[in-house]
Amino acid sequence: MTYALNDELAKLLEFFLEQRKNPPEILTHASGLISDPGFFSVKSLQTHLCNPLLNPSWVHLIVNGESISLESACLFKPVQNLKLGFMDKDVINNELAKGAAVVLEGVDILEPAINAFVGKLDEALPCSLCSCGAFFSQPGNEAYAGHVDSDDVLAMQLSGEKLWQIFAPQQRRYAETTHLTQEQLGPVIQEVIMRPGDALYVRAGVPHLVKTTGDHSLHMAFDLVDSTPSVEQITQEANKMYDYACEDPYASPSKVMQRYVKLLESQDFQGMLSEATQSLKADAKQFRQRVGRSSAVDALSGFLKD
């Protein structure tokens, strides 16, 4: 089953493609990109949280900056030697009533139309399988402390209001990216108020801190994950190649490095990396199609009564 993008998601996709064509140095804030967004709402979030089959892998509940474990809320009912799992939502319900924040992961799996949109994000990137989450917060409780993302992020404010404090860009990195202190965040260079219908594109390596300035905030964030071969994967393959074409015995470290770099720069190795990247991209596309089919069972339609 193929889902066409509605007008709202088509506008958000157009905004994203503009940023990819001319990437901002820090961020781009599009105020009022969508009028009264309705492709996902607080009601949508509540509906998914009410799903009895939801498990802790999908939900992060945060109170005073601390993640609340939901493992003890998981139960099962034995049926014909099977265990049918479900989750008691009492903890989630009570903490939300007291002002907690909650993150629902995997929205692209739960919402076929959003999966179709995220598939368009994947297609526009060199090699990616993007992720998507819904972030609900209330004053005094945020889902995340100050942090810096390793990949670019696309965000859409859906309900309520949120202040984004933007700090001076830093070197992109994978280590020490979360729970940054004020000193680690650096100087504030910009503040952005996000209101319903606003879109934000933030570059990797730009630290930010958010605060809920209305009675609540709901936004959706799309992590534009870079899935190109990592340094670990590249060096692993390079090491295998070096095993078959190593430097002469007793060579100096500098000559060993020169030989290694020569292997990395060889046409054979570059071709292998290109093939690996294309293979990953193809796998991601196929996986995205399978995600789309996770909500597509229409074989019983002929038995439905009008």
Distance between CA atoms of 236 and 80, rounded to whole angstroms?
Answer: 47
Where are the chain's structural domains?
7-71+82-223, 231-294
Distance between CA atoms of 144 and 57, rounded to whole angstroms?
Answer: 17
Tokens found for residue 246? 């190593």
Q: What is the dihedral of CA 211, 214, 220, 224, to 10 degrees?
A: -30
Question: For the chain, what's the residue count?
Answer: 306
**What pLDDT is stored for residue 1 in this prediction?**
54
**What pLDDT is stored for residue 39 in this prediction?**
96
Element (H or E) spanning 242, and its range?
helix 231-244
Grouping H, G, I as helix, E, B as strand and the rest as coil, residue 53 is: coil
End-to-end CA distance of the chain: 21
Alpha helices in 162-266 (DSSP H): 182-185, 231-244, 253-265
Which residues, in sequence order, are bridge partners of residue 28? 201
**What pLDDT is stored for residue 97 in this prediction?**
97
Angle made by CA atoms 154, 216, 118, in degrees to the nearest 5? 25
**What pLDDT is stored for residue 20 in this prediction?**
97
**What pLDDT is stored for residue 2 in this prediction?**
62
Closest among 14, 12, 39 to 159, alpha carbons compared: 39
**What pLDDT is stored for residue 305 in this prediction?**
84
Burial grade of 293 (CB within 10 A; 0-12, 13-18, 19 or more): exposed
Tell me which architecture the domain covering 7-71+82-223 has in CATH: Sandwich (2.60)
Predicted model pTM: 0.93
**What pLDDT is stored for residue 201 in this prediction?**
98
**What pLDDT is stored for residue 76 in this prediction?**
94
According to DSSP, residue 127 is labeled S
Angle made by CA atoms 292, 298, 302, in degrees to the nearest 5? 165
**Cα atoms in the Cβ-side hemisphere of radius 13 Å centred on 85:** 8
pLDDT along the chain (306 residues), means of 10: 84 98 97 96 97 94 94 95 95 97 97 96 96 97 95 98 97 94 96 98 97 97 94 92 93 95 94 94 94 91 87
